[in-house]
Amino acid sequence: MKKALITGITGQDGAYLAKLLIEKGYSVYGTYRRVSSPNFWRLQYLNVLDKITLIPADMADMSSLFEAISVSDPDEIYNLAAQSYVGASFDQPLLTTEIDGSGATRILEIIRHINKDIKFYQASTSELYGTVAENIQNENTVFCPNSPYAAAKLLSFHNTRIYREGYGLFACNGILFNHESPLRGLEFVTRKITNAVAKIKLGLQKELVLGNLDAKRDWGFAPEYVEAMWRMLQQEKPDDFVVATGETHSVREFVNEAFKQANLNADDFVKTDKIFVRPHDVNLLCGDPSKIKNNLNWNCKTTFAELVKVMVNADIKRWENFLAGESFAWDAPSFPDNITILKRHSKNNIK
Ligand code: NAP
Ligand code: F7E
């Protein structure tokens, strides 16, 4: 039986990947952080919590990563753990650099020293393209990061390549464009929108306040993207791949589609406020998935409209069940209105 170690197993992708690997017959290990309140709701939601082995580890702590890799003795490591919210990377640039930049290097060093046969997947990102050099981005497009998050991920991207080319490790970068699902964190724009639509529909919220509505993203469905990660580690030779749908939509289009799904008119409820605008944003992302289609036979299936529908319906159903008194694993009830907690503390953050 193959063994896999997933860092960041409690996150959106970690939970879906754990489910996929269990279905494929793997023995699955995952790292989790010590936090004051448990954060296993996604693993419970997908009914995989009792089918995995959890190991405490932090990406900033080399010894805990060494322990996780020694104890699990994996064939494959999927490095998904990160401070993954671009907005927060402007508030905590050094922490983000430590986790997202140096974290992967710590794992690569451990692999190099204890077992060079371990295959390594690095969660790289379309944010690397930043101010895009081409309107459609592929594996050869120049990177120009626009956030501390992307700059940190650039370090991990290159060290993954360097350890592959320099030490012969089986190490791959998946350059994944945005992928969403009902398990997406509430601070990301898609889930912020679908959760708000559900609450507005049920009379629990009055308005939705957003930042840059003109930003365009290539949004896919997360369960399909974790399949791409697995395929990258099953090929003969390690390589880097873009994973994307090839379509781009603005935040405004996502908003309109989400309200439409709930038979509501977005113009009646949506406002903008510059406190949600980043010091430096990425305006256009649209990936070319030709290489992964041709080499690994990976294709996205879920359309933009289907993705929005799945997310809106999931959030409406959850709030309905909640109001009916049901108890189930879920994040939204304890999440405060973002305007109260995400407000930027310093005017200097805004141009
Ligand atoms: P996510 O839901 O935010 O999950 C991030 C995971 O990392 C969580 O399990 C989190 O633990 C863990 N983590 C955070 N800081 C850590 C630390 N210091 N030590 C150990 N673990 C830590 O992110 P995701 O959407 O699943 O994304 C997975 C990976 O893909 C991330 O590396 C992200 O940057 C990258 N990525 C995501 C997308 C996307 O569109 N989703 C696209 C490209 C790349 P807690 O649960 O305790 O917070
Ligand atoms: O922002 C704009 C915002 O935070 C998308 C991460 O998974 O994908 C994700 O990063 C766009 C940006 O995701 C709000 O300015 C407008 O232009 O949902 P997001 P992201 O920054 O694209 C990449 C590929 C990753 O690697 C990351 O880990 O939406 N936007 N108004 C807003 N964004 C948020 N969060 N909140 C707003 O109110």
pLDDT, one tens digit per residue, over 295-335 is 999 999 999 999 999 999 999 999 999 999 999 999 999 88
If you search the block for the tokens 């840059």, which residue do you land on? 212
pLDDT, one tens digit per residue, over 235-279 is 999 999 999 999 999 999 999 999 999 999 999 999 999 999 999
Rounded distance from Cα 336 to ligand 2 centre (Å): 19
* Residue 286 counted as domain residue: no
* Residue 287 counted as domain residue: no
Q: How many domains does one find in the chain?
A: 2
Distances in whole angstroms, Cα of residue 50 to Cα of each of 9, 121, 325: 13, 24, 25
- Look up residue 90 and give its two tokens: 């402007």
The confidence band for 345, taking pLDDT boundaries of 50, 70 and 90, is very low
Do 62 and 31 lie in a common domain? Answer: yes
Do 58 and 193 lie in a common domain? Answer: no
The confidence band for 127, taking pLDDT boundaries of 50, 70 and 90, is very high
Cα dihedral sign for 307, 311, 316, 321? positive
Q: Which residues are designated catalytic?
A: 125, 127, 149
Average pLDDT of span 85-106: 98
The confidence band for 338, taking pLDDT boundaries of 50, 70 and 90, is low
* Residue 291 counted as domain residue: no
- The overall pTM is greater than 0.95: yes
Q: Is 178 in the pocket of ligand 2 (CB under 6 A)?
A: yes
Do 67 and 195 lie in a common domain? Answer: no
* Residue 74 counted as domain residue: yes
**Nearest CA residue ID for atom 21, ligand 1:** 81
Residue 5 dihedral angles phi and psi, to the nearest 5°: -115, 125
Do 61 and 146 lie in a common domain? Answer: yes
